[in-house]
Amino acid sequence: MTHPIARIVNLVSPESQRLWGTSAADAQRRLLASDASAALEIDGSFTLVAQDGEKVMLARSLDRPLRYFLAKAADGPVLIVAERIDEIAAELGRRGWAGQFHPSYTRMVPAHHVTTLRLVGCPDPNPVHRRFFDPPRGTLPGDLDLIGRHYIEAVYGELRRWLVAQEPAAPIGVSFSGGIDSGAILLCLYRLLLNEGQSPARLKAFTLAVDGGGEDVRQASAFLARTDLEMLGEIIDVPSSALDPLRAVAVIEDYKPLDVECAAVNLALLAGIRDRYPAWRLLVDGDGGDENLKDYPIEENSELTIRSVVNNRMLYQEGWGVDSIKHSLTYSGGYSRGCVRSYACAREHGFVDFSPYTRPSVIAVAEAIPFAELTAGSHERLYALKGEIVARGVRAVLGLEMPVFPKRRFQHGALSAGDAARLFPQDEAHYRRHYQTLHAAAV
C-alpha cells in the first residue's frame, strides 16, 4: 500500500491558535526571520510551524505544548507535529509506520526558543534551539513597593489585552483557591471589567471541594468576604472517587507525581464546572505565579539550593536549560514541561485556559527582581517575598487590600487533611509504569 508523503504533517488545529493582533501568516514570517527575537513579537497563545525549503522552524508560547516526530519514508523524512504524543502515535499508525514509534522518540519544542530542523534524511538532523526571550536579570532596585507595582501592572496589562481578544460578555471563570496568584487575578479582572465599563457579573470564582472538605473552601470564603466579593464565589463539590490520578497520567501524558496530582484535581474541578455550565468556555488561572516568584519549597528537592534557585535564569519556568544534561528532550523542563497540567486538562473538557503569569512581560518583571539581594541566602525571606510583592502591587495598582494566606498546593487545599497521601501514591514509578502501558500496543 502506498501513502502520500507530506514532508510536514501538522496536526495542530488552526482554530486552537489564540493570536492577538496578528495573523498566522504574519506570525510564521516572524518565525522565519534571521533574528530569533522577532518571535517575541508574536502575541497570544500559539504553537507555530513555518517552512523555508528544507528548514522547518517551530515555536510555542510557554502555556501550551508542541511536540514533533521525524518519521522515515522511502521518499524522505516526514515531520509530524502535534500537541500530544498519542496524536503522533495515531498518525504513524494511519500511515502504516507504527513500528517506528516510541514515546521517547517524540520531542518537545522548548518554550522561549525557535527550534530549527533540516529535513535532509539520514542521519537524523540535530535541532538547533535559538532563544527569543532573554529578559535581563536583577535590574530592579530592592524596593518591594516598586517591584509589586511593576509586577501587577504587567499582570493587569496582560489580562486587559486578553480580554479585548475575547467575545464580548462571554462569562469568565477563575480557578480560585483564595491564594496569592488566583486572588490577584480575581481582583485584577474585577477591577478591569469595571474600568472597561463592563459588568463584573461576567465573573465567577470556582473553588473545588472534595467530599465537602479542604482548606481552600474556607480560605476562598475568607478572601471573598474581606474583599466584598462574596457574590462571585461558587463551590464545586465533588466526591473523592472523582479524583483519578491514572486518568490524569493519560491526559497530561506525564508521570511526575506533583503534576499528576495537580492534574487530577484540576480535571475534577473542570468536570464539575462543565456539568453545571455546559456552554462555559473561558477560564483564567494562576499557573506560573509560583514559578515567577520562586515560591516552591527548596527543601523538597535535593537537587536545589537557594543559590541555584535565585541565580539561574528562569529555572522554574524552563528547568536547567536546553543545553544541560538534565534537560529532557521528550518533555522539556520546569513549567515548559508542566504547562500540560493546565492546557491538556482544559482542552479535555472544552475550555480555553489563560494565565497572565505565563506571559513574557510578566516573567520579565519577575526576572528583574534582585532575588539574591533581597533574600541574602534565607529560605524564609524567599518564601515571604511573593505575598509581599503581590499584596503591595495590588494596593498600588488597584487600590485594594488583598488578603495573603500561607502557600498551599492546589491538590492539598482541595482535600481534607491527610487525604492527599491516601488518594495519591507518592511513587513516580507507579505513574511511569501506567504511562508506559498507554503506548504498549503501539510499540
For residue range 75-102, list pLDDT tens digits in order.
888 999 999 999 999 999 999 999 999 9
Mean pLDDT within 233-239: 96
Mean pLDDT within 222-231: 98
Q: Which three cell numbers stand for residue 63?
A: 502555556
Is residue 84 a contact partner of residue 100, using CB atoms and an 8 Å limit? no
Taking the C-alpha atoms of residue 143 and residue 393, their distance in angstroms, rounded to an integer, is: 11
**Three-state secondary-structure class, residue 107:** strand
Pairing of strands 113-118, 128-131: antiparallel
Mean pLDDT within 397-422: 87
What is the value of pTM for the model shown? Answer: 0.95
Kindly report, residue by residue over 104-162, the tens digit of the pLDDT: 999 999 999 999 998 876 667 789 999 999 999 999 999 999 999 999 999 999 999 99
Res 341: pLDDT:
96
Residue 4's pLDDT band (cuts 50, 70, 90)? low
Is residue 59 a contact partner of residue 115, using CB atoms and an 8 Å limit? yes
Q: How far apart are the first and last CA of the chain?
A: 21
Residue 375's pLDDT band (cuts 50, 70, 90)? very high
Higher per-residue pLDDT: 81 or 424: 81
Higher per-residue pLDDT: 389 or 428: 389
The conformation of residue 334, written as its DSSP 8-state character, comes to: T
Taking the C-alpha atoms of residue 47 and residue 63, their distance in angstroms, rounded to an integer, is: 10
Peptide bond into 297 cis (omega under 30): no
**Closest to 46 in 3D by CA, of 66, 25, 29:** 66
Mean pLDDT of the chain: 94
Mean pLDDT within 295-301: 93
Pairing of strands 44-45, 203-210: unpaired
pLDDT at residue 52 is higher than 50? yes
